[in-house]
Amino acid sequence: MSVPETVLAAMRQTNDLFSDVVGRRDFDGLDRVYTRNARVLPPGAEMVEGRQQIKAFWRGAIVGLGLKSVKLTIVDAEAVGDRVFEIGRAELLVGSGDTVTVKYVVQWKQEDGHWKWHVDIWNMNQ
Amino acid sequence: MSVPETVLAAMRQTNDLFSDVVGRRDFDGLDRVYTRNARVLPPGAEMVEGRQQIKAFWRGAIVGLGLKSVKLTIVDAEAVGDRVFEIGRAELLVGSGDTVTVKYVVQWKQEDGHWKWHVDIWNMNQ
């Protein structure tokens, strides 16, 4: 099923929050991005479960990469039951000045009235 | 929701078909693994859409890597609407004799009475 425009708008708002986390190094902002039991499957590491572990992961990854900004684009989104399955694209500006293109799949779930990332996996195009 | 044992058994059967594709280089076997409109998001390449493109991708990847065998393990599966959302783990035996550990997310969908991979994304742990 297609995703109502109101939900897409809410998803874009969450994506913007993530960009803010990266831009401002405000890792507590991840509380509004990931569900409490979220799982992140990053390239080059084991799966990370739960919000505290996810915060620690992103702190290390964002600081480690010298990540300056992230732009997220929804490529496709489908409503399935009470979830949304998204295929997306990210442009990362890293410390070296290079741009890295990433594709991802996110399973979205509502928590406390907000649409959040419940499962998050990605990889690089190059 | 938890996934009924009958569905898990059907999923394992599909996973075994994929292992057969790798072991026997029988790429037409992928018809029974992927839905017609499936999408594959492989590391190091752009997204691949549709079964013919997916066959071409796997032919290149399996022959290119000299992939000898694949063992797939369902780590977690959740029924959402008419789909199943799986987090899994793969052990790949490649031409060099090395084993590569992969984690993946697959969205499963029923097509022609079979459970198949509808969205497939993975990355390496190392």
For residue B106, what are its two tokens?
């697959």
Give Dmax over CA atoms of chain A in angstroms: 42
Q: How far apart are CA B1 and CA B81, in angstroms?
A: 9
DSSP-derived pairing of the beta strands A34-41 and A114-124? parallel
What's the CA gap between A86 and A117, in Å, rounded?
10
Q: What's the gap in Å between the CA of A9 and the closest CA on chain B?
A: 22
CB contact under 8 A, A119 and B87: yes
Interface of B with A (CB under 8 A): 39, 41-47, 75, 80-83, 85, 87, 103-105, 107, 119, 121-126
Of A39, A43, A75, the CB nearest to B124: A43
Residue B30 contacts residue B87 (beta carbons within 8 Å):
no
- Which residues of chain B make contact with A80, given a CB cutoff of 8 A? 80-83
Contacts of residue A36, defined as CB under 8 A and 6 or more positions apart, other chains included, come to A50, A51, A111
The model carries a pTM of 0.96
pLDDT of residue A5: 97
The model's pLDDT over A64-103, given as tens digits with 9 standing for 90+, comes to: 989 999 999 999 999 999 999 999 999 999 988 999 999 9
Q: How far is CA B67 from the centre of its chain?
A: 14
pLDDT of amino acid A65 = 87
Element (H, E) at A19: helix A5-24
Q: Tell me, what's the ipTM?
A: 0.95
Residue B7 phi/psi, 5-degree rounding, is: -70, -40
Measuring CA to CA, how many Å separate A36 from each of A13, A32, A122, B29? 18, 10, 20, 39
For the stretch B38-71, pLDDT in tens is 999 999 999 999 999 999 999 999 999 899 999 9
- pLDDT tens for A25-79 read 999 999 999 999 999 999 999 999 999 999 999 999 999 989 999 999 999 999 9
Question: Does B78 score more than 90 pLDDT?
Answer: yes
Q: Provide the mean pLDDT of chain B.
A: 96
Determine the distance in angstroms separating the CA of B91 from the nearest CA of chain A, rounded to an integer: 14
Q: Could you tell me the sign of the dihedral formed by the alpha carbons of B83, B15, A45, A68, in that order?
A: negative
Nearest Cα residue to B33 out of B120, B121, B101: B120
- Percent of chain A beyond pLDDT 90? 95
Interior/surface letters B106-124, b for 16+ CB within 10 angstroms, e for the rest:
bbbbeeeeebbbbbbbbbb
